[in-house]
């Protein structure tokens, strides 16, 4: 009953609109009647005849636009309305152009923009409802895709709406369609001419999520150039530099922030994190090389005929690991310096202590790897001693991290492994229990 009343009300309003439009063209009157009775194809055919009779008039184009608007509402699937809305847009724009050139302008001329905006508003607002209204979302299987279809209709109807392009980009990203999000946001930014910093951040993120780090860097560098004081842009740019393997650029980018505000703990944490990430990557490479050395050792025992070549490969990997260890230690020292500075500026920050624990654990791991592959028992004993010293430092920082953040099971798990390696079995059991192991 409510739906019937709504439809009846819409029909009454529509009749009012048509009744307010005065015309002496019988073809236009016939078209109006066909629109009201939903004989849209007949209305379009009549309006085409009117255009043939009076090609310079905007009136038949205006009513063609109105016809396409009403016809689109009868198409249940939003994604199937695109062609109808393309015809709507073309008719409305042509009507506006024709009206502007006419000496005697009918009352409909002032309604073209309202016709476009009301048609656009219907599709745009429907999209928002499918994103935000849980009850409406429950009526379809893929509400986000439905929202995308409505927004695609909206930008066909009113391609000058940066709002619809912006929201289309966001909804496309929610749907995992980063190519569509990039296209939509690029369109919006071009239209704006001077887009806000948030647009550069979003576009950079879309490129990053679609595994296009070089494109992300280009966008974010342009953003930093336009907004040099945007800390968030600089931080994200540093992250993307690191993702792209441009470690030094990443570090230099954050260092510029520290130069601006040396007492900002967040900047020191960001730099320490980037440095730590670099050391972790090197640590993983060292482990991988030692695994390869182990495999070569097995091959050497089973294939003495290739002893010289295999030994040469082993020596080369050992040499590489020495260089990597030296590089890692240098970066670790820098990371630790930055993270310790964070603990001075912000003593209750659990992340700083956690990352310090990771740094010393990485150092210990490298020493253990080296110990496992040395034939010198005295050296092995010394390396074992050094590794345990690093683990005790790691333990100290992890204990502080769990003190500040006792529900962080990952830190308890890391701490339990350290206790095991240091033969602190009772504490290890307690940490495992806290970690839920």
Q: How far apart are CA 118 and CA 157, in angstroms?
A: 10
132, two tokens: 């935000």
**Predicted confidence (pLDDT) per residue in 268-277, tens digit:** 998 998 888 8
Q: How far apart are CA 55 and CA 393, in angstroms?
A: 86
What value does the mean pLDDT take over residues 321-327?
90
Q: How far apart are CA 383 and CA 370, in angstroms?
A: 8
pLDDT above 50 (res 13): no
**Predicted confidence (pLDDT) per residue in 371-428, tens digit:** 988 888 999 999 999 999 999 999 999 999 999 999 999 999 999 999 999 999 999 9
Residue 343: which region, alpha, beta or left (left: phi > 0; alpha: psi -120 to 50)?
Answer: alpha
Q: Which residues contact 119 (CB under 8 A, 6 or more apart)?
A: 69, 72, 85, 88, 157, 158
- Per DSSP, 381 falls in state H
pLDDT above 80 (res 2): no
Neighbours of 194 (CB within 10 A): 7
**Res 370: pLDDT:** 85
**Res 5: pLDDT:** 34
Instruction: Please give the helix or strand (H or E) that residue 9 lies within, else none.
Output: helix 2-19
Q: How far apart are CA 122 and CA 119, in angstroms?
A: 5
**Predicted confidence (pLDDT) per residue in 345-359, tens digit:** 999 999 999 999 999
pTM higher than 0.85 for the full model? Answer: no
277, two tokens: 């990430």
**Res 3: pLDDT:** 40
pLDDT above 60 (res 303): yes
Q: How far apart are CA 49 and CA 43, in angstroms?
A: 10
Lowest mean pLDDT among 62-66, 205-209, 285-289, 395-399: 285-289
CB distance 184 to 172 below 8 Å: yes
Report residue 23's pLDDT band, with 50, 70 and 90 as the boundaries: low
pLDDT above 90 (res 18): no
pLDDT above 60 (res 125): yes
Q: How far apart are CA 234 and CA 249, in angstroms?
A: 11
Q: Which domains does the chain have, with CATH numbers?
A: 9-134 (1.25.40), 261-435 (1.25.40)
- Per DSSP, 140 falls in state S
Q: How far apart are CA 61 and CA 56, in angstroms?
A: 10
CB distance 402 to 411 below 8 Å: yes
**Predicted confidence (pLDDT) per residue in 141-195, tens digit:** 999 999 999 999 999 999 999 999 999 999 999 999 999 999 999 999 999 989 9
Neighbours of 337 (CB within 10 A): 13
pLDDT above 60 (res 206): yes
pLDDT above 50 (res 369): yes
Q: How far apart are CA 216 and CA 210, in angstroms?
A: 10
What value does the mean pLDDT take over residues 263-269?
91
Give CA torsion, residues 310, 313, 314, 317, to 10 deg: -170
pLDDT above 90 (res 283): no
Sequence-separated contacts (24+) of 203-211 with Cβ below 8 Å: 204/236, 204/237, 204/240, 205/173, 205/236, 206/169, 206/173, 206/178, 206/181, 206/182, 207/178, 207/182, 208/240, 208/243, 209/173, 209/178, 210/178, 210/179, 210/182
Q: How far apart are CA 277 and CA 331, in angstroms?
A: 10
Q: Which residues contact 231 (CB under 8 A, 6 or more apart)?
A: 257, 267
**Res 24: pLDDT:** 64
Q: Taking CA 172 as the corner, what is the angle to CA 169 and CA 175, rounded to the nearest 5 degrees?
A: 155
Lowest mean pLDDT among 53-57, 66-70, 367-371, 377-381: 367-371
What value does the mean pLDDT take over residues 37-44?
96
What value does the mean pLDDT take over residues 68-86?
96
Mean pLDDT (the chain, rounded): 90
């Amino acid at each position: 009953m409510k739906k019937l009343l709504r439809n009846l009300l819409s029909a009454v309003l529509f009749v009012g609109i048509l009744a307010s439009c005065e015309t002496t063209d019988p073809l236009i009157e016939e078209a109006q009647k066909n629109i009201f009775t939903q004989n849209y194809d007949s209305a379009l055919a009549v309006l085409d005849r009117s255009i043939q009779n009076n090609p310079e008039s905007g009136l038949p184009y205006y009513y063609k636009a109105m016809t396409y608007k009403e016809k689109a509402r009868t198409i249940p699937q939003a994604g199937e309305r695109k062609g109808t809305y393309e015809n709507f847009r073309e008719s409305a724009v042509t009507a506006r152009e024709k009206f502007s050139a006419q000496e005697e302008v009918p009352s409909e001329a002032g309604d073209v923009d309202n016709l476009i905006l009301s048609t656009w508003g219907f599709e745009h607002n429907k999209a928002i409802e499918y994103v935000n209204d849980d009850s409406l979302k429950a009526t379809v299987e893929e509400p986000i895709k439905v929202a995308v279809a409505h927004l695609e209709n909206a930008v066909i109807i009113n391609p000058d709406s940066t709002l619809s392009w912006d929201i289309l980009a966001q909804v496309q990203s929610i749907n995992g369609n980063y190519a569509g999000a990039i296209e939509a946001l690029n369109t919006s930014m071009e239209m704006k001419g001077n887009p806000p910093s948030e647009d550069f951040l979003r576009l950079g993120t879309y490129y990053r999520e679609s595994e296009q780090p070089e494109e992300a860097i280009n966008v974010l560098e342009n953003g930093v150039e336009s907004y040099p004081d945007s800390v968030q842009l600089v931080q994200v740019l540093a992250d993307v530099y690191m993702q792209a393997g441009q470690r030094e650029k990443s570090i230099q980018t954050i260092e510029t922030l520290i130069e601006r505000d040396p007492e900002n703990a967040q900047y020191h944490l960001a730099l320490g994190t980037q440095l730590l990430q670099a050391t972790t990557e090197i640590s993983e490479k060292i482990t991988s090389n030692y695994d390869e050395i182990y495999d070569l050792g097995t091959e050497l025992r089973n294939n003495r005929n290739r002893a010289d070549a295999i030994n040469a490969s082993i020596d080369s990997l050992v040499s590489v690991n020495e260089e990597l260890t030296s590089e890692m230690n240098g970066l670790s020292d820098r990371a630790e310096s930055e993270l310790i500075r964070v603990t001075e500026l912000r003593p209750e920050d659990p992340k700083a202590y956690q990352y310090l624990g990771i740094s010393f654990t990485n150092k210990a791991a490298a020493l253990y790897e080296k110990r496992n592959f040395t034939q010198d028992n005295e050296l092995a004993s010394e390396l074992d001693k050094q590794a345990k010293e690093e683990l005790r430092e790691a333990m100290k920082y992890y204990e502080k991290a769990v003190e500040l953040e006792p529900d962080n099971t990952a830190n308890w798990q890391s701490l339990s492994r350290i206790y095991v390696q240091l033969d602190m079995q009772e504490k290890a059991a307690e940490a495992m229990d806290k970690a839920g192991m």
